[in-house]
Amino acid sequence: MSDRTALDPSGAFASRHIGPGDDDQAAMLDALGYGSLEELVDDAVPASIREAAPLDLPAPVSEAEALARLRDLAGRNQVLTSMIGLGYHDTVTPPVIRRSILENPAWYTAYTPYQPEISQGRLEALLNFQTLVTDLAGLALANSSLLDEATAAAEALTLSRRASKAPAGAPFVVDTACHPQTLAVVRTRAEPLGIPVVEADLGAGLPEGDLFGVLVQYPTTTGLVRDDADLVAAAHERGALVTVAADPLALCVLRAPGEIGADVVVGSAQRFGVPMGFGGPHAGYMAVRDGLQRSLPGRLVGVSIDADGDPALRLALQTREQHIRREKATSNICTAQVLLAVIASSYAVYHGPDGLTAIAERVHRAARTLDRGLRAAGVEVVHDNYFDTVCARVPGRADEVVAAALAAGVNLRRVDEDHVAASVDEVTTAAHLDAVLDAFGAEADAAGLGAELDDAPAVAAGLARTTPFCTHPVFSSHHSETAMLRYLRRLADRDVALDRSMIPLGSCTMKLNAAAEMEPITWPGFAGLHPFAPLDQSEGYRELIADLERWLVEVTGYGAVSLQPNAGSQGELAGLLAIAAYHRSRGDEDRDVCLIPSSAHGTNAASAVMAGMRVVVVACDDQGNVDLDDLRAKVAEAEGAIAALMVTYPSTHGVFEEAIGEICDVVHEAGGQVYLDGANLNAMVGLARPGRFGADVSHLNLHKTFCIPHGGGGPGVGPVAVGSHLAPFLPSHPLVPECGPGDTSPGPVAAAPWGSAGILPIPWAYVRMMGGEGLRRATQVAILNANHVARRLADHYPVLYAGRNGLVAHECILDIRPLTKATGITVDDIAKRLIDHGFHAPTMSFPVAGTLMVEPTESEDRAELDRFCDALIAIREEVDTQPDLLRGAPWTASAVLADEWEHPFTRAEAAFPGTVSRADKYWPPVRRIDGGHGDRNLVCSCPPMEELVDQQP
Ligand SMILES: *Cc1c(COP(=O)(O)O)cnc(C)c1O
């Protein structure tokens, strides 16, 4: 009986997730010369790493059943009113934004905008984000997202170190009044770099001695709005850079840090419409003053021009990024928080500057009401200047007050035994304030108190904002819901995402993000929790987390997993920190060499440097495999100093290296640990487990293998999985020790204890609906699909590497270099011509320059795979017949409808290549974009309209 006709639909989801049906699988196998998936996999995957035993995972359930179970888990989370603050606040996601962005596959299934011509919509939303942050910070430019506030502060630490001329050994000075998780993450990151961190009460001025950077929180963690102008001046006089970690809503009514000379402003855009989600994901941000743009980590959207001279957006200064600069990179950040930055910027577009100011003023009014009520009752309020957080001194009574508020359904922050803080937000009502006042034993009359307030803000005159922000017309044009709905639709229509066509990105596993997996993340039972709420309020979440950790342990064959890292890059860092701590725990202080094959992803080397290691590159042979002789030589050269080898498996060349076991042995014999980059786990789930065939630690990318959507470049989740011997060295958290191993930990690598917990229902649902057999089948079909594509294209483009029996793993590299040499047609020409076919290009020039890497994933059906192959084959013919057609690609409607047409091919040949149905044509909004022009004329926030018009010829 087939799944689809069974009375019990358990297991049916796998047949929805996996693209090719049984007949197509059989036909594809037949063309490859195999009778079954098992036979194919036996030939493709080395026997030395194979495991016969099925995964010990719960039996699959249907979509309805998975959702019912998730509803039960969500129901076991208690969503109280959280006034804990500490950088996380309740907020209203405007329904038009929730539905049009967060719940809309056109936005959430998009890839990182490396192909700018098909990414103009999300690039515009990101440019809006940069403009918003730049204006609020009062600085020259901002990036379009970092991972969270704490890691943004840590990025500011290293940026300051590079930019300051202070002597080596000078410390980074941090204010005691920063959020504790921010300080902890900064310490984690400073320690392996040998950078001293000095904590001091900066309200009392700077400590004596050298320093290269200063970090303050604005307003402080307990709510004080302090005038730091003198502090900034003093720091500058001593050659240090100043970073201000700022609350963006507060900045709507407070003086911008840039106005007092701050060099860097970081923070979280969470309260701009992004649910707390038990800690994330949210967009961290960073803005810098002029002169620091080339040191800015993360992605930067800039304005350039296209082939017709029209303005067009693109990622600027990409040469700064880790994938180019590797161990010389300024940061390891790769996947960021694009979807969340898009939501936050859209929140600002929808509300506009006046709406944002009104929200900030309402929040401030609520805080003043609370302040008034507490003072009237004789409760001592600590700060006179504040924005949204009122800190009360209640000697010896903190626990009692917090408990009383809790009984009324409100979480307050216990600062210490004598202090309680309450942070109000966009959703705070008079009833909430009454509950808080009551908890303090004050008279509950917020409505009455509020009515008596005048308009004077509770900050000293010089601290209020006097400069306008968000003056660009985009922030005042879409305030009705109809206008906003259409603006978001217009932007989405400019882009290609998975909801249009296959995205064949090597190394990035752009598979289905099923609707049933996505639905739960916006349920209040998951979206509404504060990450530092008392643990008994998150029972459902913690069960979900424990399930997922257990399942990932089972899938990988390791001993323990931490879900804290909020991207693969952060998992890498956490894994390397665990290795370093392990060596130290055994008295092996001198192991600091990290061996990295030349084919590795750029984040590997960048992470190794952040973990305090020296990178030694190991050569690859001409088959793309790790050169064992070179490995042995490098190991011998660094005898006694080998800390780790980082190896990607299957390799970044898309091949199951036969020698993996031997490679692991060589490293272990030298006393090193094997870090296996798990980004390619989609080729192994259910077939082989890295923890069993020789590796000690891996990060996984849940936004690749386990169905979290790419979101246009984030969010991600990058759990780190380790052998039991490394478990004591997993990440921890200063406020929620339950998430980690305790004192042996190197510290937190993210602001929240379980990182981006809000999106963990996605992989949970995926594993639960697939079951062990479904996951294994998915892997087999991923390998089948890749080999199908490789075989169909082999006569047209040489496939660069293959493993045993001429088979590839889950992806393949097409070598374009011979074609380029013979004809001048480049990977770019092919990539841009694919746009005319409605396809996103494969990964370009990674890991080998001049090549295209294709990873189809199991979710693409045979028709789509063939349509993609047909497009590439048609392009190969055009190389010979119409090379200018490729050089001119992509062809916009405006280009093919121009009055003049002097090309040797027809307008229809340009616009309607053979694979395209005319009715369903995707029209790119811009022609090919000039990258160099953008970098030479860097414009990284929305320029005024007149300027854009001026640029037109
Ligand atoms: C994607 C990827 C990474 C980095 O992961 P992020 O989540 O983008 O930080 C590391 N290594 C490889 C091989 C990858 O493909």
Compute mean pLDDT per 10 residues along the chain, 953 residues long, and list them: 54 94 98 98 96 95 97 98 98 98 98 97 98 98 97 98 96 98 98 98 96 98 98 98 98 98 98 98 98 92 95 87 78 96 98 98 98 97 98 98 98 98 98 98 95 92 96 97 98 98 95 98 98 98 98 98 98 98 96 95 95 96 91 97 97 91 97 97 98 97 98 98 98 98 97 98 98 97 98 96 90 96 97 98 93 97 98 98 97 97 97 94 97 84 65 46
Tell me how many degrees the CA angle 65-67-73 measures, rounded to the nearest 5: 110
Tell me how far apart the alpha carbons of residues 76 and 98 are, in angstroms, rounded to a whole number.
24
Atom of ligand 1 nearest to the CA of 508: 15
Quick one: CA dihedral 676, 678, 681, 685, positive or negative?
A: positive
Q: Tell me, in angstroms, the distance from the centre of ligand 1 to residue 324's CA.
A: 14
pLDDT computed for residue 941 by the predictor: 84
Residues 6+ apart with CB under 8 A from 39: 29
Q: Which amino acid is at 221?
A: T
Q: Tell me, in angstroms, the distance from the centre of ligand 1 to residue 526's CA.
A: 27
Going by C-alpha positions, the residue among 146, 219, 221, 158 that lies closest to residue 186 is 158
Q: Tell me, in angstroms, the distance from the centre of ligand 1 to residue 679's CA.
A: 6
**CA 789 remoteness from chain centre:** 29
Atom of ligand 1 nearest to the CA of 603: 10
679 Cβ below 6 A of ligand 1: yes
Which residue's CA is the nearest one to ligand 1's atom 7?
568
CB 608 within 8 A of CB 643: no
Residue listed under structure tokens 């001279």: 309
Strand-pair partners of 616: 595
pLDDT computed for residue 953 by the predictor: 42
pLDDT computed for residue 952 by the predictor: 47
810 Cβ below 6 A of ligand 1: no
Buried b (16+ CB within 10 A) or exposed e, 633-662: ebbeebeebbbbbbbbbbbbbbbbbebbeb
Q: Which two tokens stand for residue 220?
A: 């402080």
Going by C-alpha positions, the residue among 52, 56, 60, 59 that lies closest to residue 687 is 52
Q: Is 845 left (phi over 0), alpha (psi -120 to 50) or beta?
A: left
Q: Is 747 left (phi over 0), alpha (psi -120 to 50) or beta?
A: left
CB 909 within 8 A of CB 882: yes
With H, G, I as helix, E, B as strand and everything else as coil, classify residue 55: coil
pLDDT computed for residue 1 by the predictor: 37
CB 130 within 8 A of CB 123: no
pLDDT computed for residue 948 by the predictor: 55
Q: Which two tokens stand for residue 447?
A: 């409505």
335 Cβ below 6 A of ligand 1: yes
Strand arrangement, sheet containing 264-268 = 141-142, 284-288, 264-268, 241-246, 213-218, 172-175, 197-200
Going by C-alpha positions, the residue among 147, 19, 120 that lies closest to residue 751 is 147
Report H helices in 53-212.
Answer: 63-75, 95-97, 105-108, 120-137, 149-163, 180-190
CB 657 within 8 A of CB 627: no
Q: Which amino acid is at 699?
A: H
Quick one: CA dihedral 667, 672, 678, 679, positive or negative?
A: negative
Which residue's CA is the nearest one to ligand 1's atom 4?
568
771 Cβ below 6 A of ligand 1: no
Q: Is 654 left (phi over 0), alpha (psi -120 to 50) or beta?
A: left
Q: Distance of CA 507 to CAs 680, 701, 704, 844, Å?
A: 6, 10, 8, 11
Q: What are φ and ψ of residue 742, in 5° steps?
A: 100, -150
Tell me how far apart the alpha carbons of residues 625 and 607 are, in angstroms, rounded to a whole number.
22
Quick one: CA dihedral 661, 663, 668, 674, positive or negative?
A: negative
Tell me how far apart the alpha carbons of residues 838 and 501 are, in angstroms, rounded to a whole number.
7
Quick one: CA dihedral 174, 177, 182, 183, positive or negative?
A: positive
3-state helix vs strand vs coil in the chain, percent to 5: 45, 15, 40
Q: Tell me, in angstroms, the distance from the centre of ligand 1 to residue 840's CA.
A: 19
Q: Tell me, in angstroms, the distance from the centre of ligand 1 to residue 80's CA.
A: 36
Q: Tell me, in angstroms, the distance from the centre of ligand 1 to residue 700's CA.
A: 9
569 Cβ below 6 A of ligand 1: yes
Q: Tell me, in angstroms, the distance from the centre of ligand 1 to residue 545's CA.
A: 22
Atom of ligand 1 nearest to the CA of 718: 7
Which residue's CA is the nearest one to ligand 1's atom 5?
568
Tell me how far apart the alpha carbons of residues 237 and 224 are, in angstroms, rounded to a whole number.
25
Going by C-alpha positions, the residue among 283, 317, 288 that lies closest to residue 301 is 317
478 Cβ below 6 A of ligand 1: no
DSSP state, 594? E
Q: Which two tokens stand for residue 303?
A: 């304005």
Atom of ligand 1 nearest to the CA of 335: 8
Atom of ligand 1 nearest to the CA of 701: 7
pLDDT computed for residue 935 by the predictor: 85
334 Cβ below 6 A of ligand 1: yes
Q: Tell me, in angstroms, the distance from the centre of ligand 1 to residue 334's CA.
A: 7
Q: Report DSSP letters for 716-729, one per residue.
A: ----EEE-GGGGGG
Atom of ligand 1 nearest to the CA of 572: 10
Q: Which two tokens stand for residue 109?
A: 């299934």
Q: Tell me, in angstroms, the distance from the centre of ligand 1 to residue 718's CA.
A: 9
